[in-house]
Each structure stands twice: as C-alpha cells, then as structure tokens.
Amino acid sequence: MAEHPDCTLVRRGYEAFTRGDLDALAGLMTTDVTHHVPGESSISGHHKGREACVQLYRRLGELSGGTLRTELETLLADGRGHVISVHRCRAERDDIGIDMKIGMFFTIVGGKISDIDECSEDIDTSNTFWR
C-alpha cells in the first residue's frame, strides 16, 4: 500500500528536522504556519509564522545542547488534509533527560503544513525539562 501524500509530506519534515536542515523544513510549511506547544515552559505557546517555527526548532537544539532526537513511530492520514504523527523524543539538558512520546496533529493546505498542534505524553515532565 502506498503512503498517503500528506503522510509523505510530514515524513519529509521529520527527515529534514533529523538532518538539522531547517531551510528544507521551512520549505514544507506555509508562510503563516503556527506550531502550538502545550504547557508552561520556555518553549510553550503559539509560534506563528514560518520564521517563528524555525526559531522554535533552533531553540530546541540550543536548549538540549544538540542532544534532541526524534524517532518517528506512526503517521496516520484522514485524506482530508490532516495527519497525526507519534514520535519518541529524547534529549538531555544539564542534569536531566527526557524520553517520552509526542503526538502532533498536522493540517495540510495546498501541499504544505499550515498548522501543528503538539500533544505530550507528560506535560509536567516536559515543563520541567524545557523550564
């Protein structure tokens, strides 16, 4: 069975993120994309616009000292412009580490990612890690 094109788009985003190719990742997003991060940490909130999202991803790398790793586990499409992903997130920061599942709900418009709603397996642990 062939992968749905929306899943392929999101997979390409994960691959670009893993390579650290933020220019390629930005090219997969609309200019007005928004990434919603839950919780009450330094990375939480609504990151509006392609540049704000890229800045968020840079900050994740900086805060984790380059240790952040994502391992894509699942992609699910509804065929109407939505994809759900589940990945394992691992990173270290100072004296603590994080290892948890993260879910993302992507909205796809015109072949580009226009909205990302992030869900965390453990928001309190995420808040502690990202402070």
Kindly report the CATH number assigned to the domain that includes residue 121.
3.10.450.50
Domain of 112 in residue numbering reads as: 5-130
pLDDT at 6 over 90: yes
pLDDT of residue 55: 98
Whether residue 1 has pLDDT greater than 90: no
- pTM (predicted TM-score): 0.95
Q: With contact defined as beta carbons under 8 Å apart, do 89 and 99 qualify?
A: yes
CA distances in angstroms from 55 to 47, 60, 73, listed in the order given? 9, 9, 25
Per cent of the chain over pLDDT 70 is 100
List beta partners, residue 127. Answer: none
Average of pLDDT values for 103-131?
Answer: 97
Per-residue tokens: 58: 């840079």
| Residues in contact with 51: Cβ distance below 8 Å, sequence separation at least 6, in sequence order | none
Please state, as a whole number, how many other Cβ atoms lie within 10 Å of the Cβ of residue 20: 12
- Percent of the chain past pLDDT 90, that is, above it, reads 98
Given a contact cutoff of 8 angstroms between Cβ atoms, the answer to whether 90 and 71 are in contact is yes
pLDDT score recorded for residue 13: 98
Q: Give the chain's domain count.
A: 1
What are the angstrom distances between the C-alpha of 119 and each of 27, 38, 58, 111? 23, 7, 20, 23
